[in-house]
Amino acid sequence: MKIAETVTFGGSGLDRAAEWRGRADELRAQPDARAIMLWRGKPMIVDDALVRVPLDHPVMADADAALILLGRDADGPVFAADLSGWVPPDLDLTHIDTFLDPSQQQHPAMPDGVIFAELRSVMTRLTPRDAELAATAKAIMVWHMSHRFCARCGAESDVAMAGWQRDCAACDAHHFPRTDPVVIMLITHGNSVLLGRSPGWPDGMYSLLAGFVEPGETIEAAVRREVFEEAGVRVGSVRYLASQPWPFPASLMLGCAGDALGTELTIDPTEIEDAMWVSREDLAQAFAGQHPRILPARKGAIAHFLLQNWLADRLD
């Protein structure tokens, strides 16, 4: 797919400077080093752009000491700082950690208009570089929060390699950030595409079927298995289209196209709430916001990207 890397969170060409991770202190000492900031996974932004501050900025007093080296760009080294330990004085817990947290937080060391905002709500407005930086930082920070203890011996491990490793002093084990592969499938039959929905989604919202790749399984096999498990449809030919890092919390979405061998649906209610075949004409109507029953997948998600390009006949 020629435009594969134009998907949200992809294609910025960031130099991740992996060769510097073992000596990131040298980069931290450079006067042009900057940090982006996240609070409970929410990036700090202003005017739809990530905020970058010098490492000696007053706001960094509330940051975790273990900065993550994200890479280098034309302006110098870029780190990520976790400010999750800071507690806003007027913190409202009503929406915190919900699917799409609408609340915003402002740190007292920053001027008006500089806020922490839910990444899902701003991801389509960020530049490709800012989107990649924010997604990488969020995924790594979530991994550190959920992997504090050694999986081999249970002792608490330490951050190493500028955030890209955890080391266990008790048993000398090394642990590395994980990414969970997920197949997401554009399954078609003639002029129609297979869409489904999960319980709890907004009324009328449908998307492509998706599921985790299992150990010992190829991408193609995962596509066929997941579609049959969820909708009872057998799939023949499968081809890869595009991928998307998806830091909610740490997945790699593997977008594929598949040819359905039939159209009869047998829905597994433990997997999905509903599924249906949708014609190209009906999907175009849904994308225009004019369909009486169907809302399209969320903008920014690879499902929206694949469906939009299927409608435009741009999958090759």
Domain containing residue 209: CATH number: 3.90.79.10
20 and 65 share a domain?
yes
Task: Determine the structural domain holding residue 299 and report its residue range.
Answer: 180-311
Mean pLDDT of the chain, nearest integer: 95
> What is the average per-residue pLDDT within 251-273?
97
What is the share, in percent, of the chain residues with pLDDT greater than 70? 98
The reported pTM is: 0.94
- Is the pLDDT at 79 greater than 70? The verdict is yes
CB neighbourhood size of 90 (10 A) = 6
- Is the pLDDT at 99 greater than 70? The verdict is no
161 and 282 share a domain?
no
Banded model confidence at residue 289, pLDDT cuts 50, 70, 90: very high
Banded model confidence at residue 111, pLDDT cuts 50, 70, 90: very high
- Is the pLDDT at 95 greater than 80? The verdict is no
What is the share, in percent, of the chain residues with pLDDT greater than 90? 92
- Is the pLDDT at 108 greater than 90? The verdict is yes
Tell me, yes or no, whether 316 lies in a domain: no
- Is the pLDDT at 169 greater than 70? The verdict is yes
- Is the pLDDT at 11 greater than 90? The verdict is no
- Is the pLDDT at 9 greater than 70? The verdict is yes
Dihedral of CA atoms 233, 237, 238, 239 in degrees, nearest 10, equals -150
32 and 46 share a domain?
yes
Helix (H) or strand (E) holding 182: strand 180-189
21 and 78 share a domain?
yes
Q: How far apart are CA 252 and CA 116, in angstroms?
A: 24
- What pLDDT shows up at residue 98? 60
- What pLDDT shows up at residue 101? 84
- Is the pLDDT at 211 greater than 70? The verdict is yes
203 and 301 share a domain?
yes
Give how far Cα 237 sits from Cα of 107, 192, 196, Å.
52, 16, 20
Q: How far apart are CA 33 and CA 42, in angstroms?
A: 21
- Is the pLDDT at 96 greater than 80? The verdict is no
> What is the average per-residue pLDDT within 83-109?
83
> How many distinct structural domains can be found in the chain?
3
91 and 153 share a domain?
no
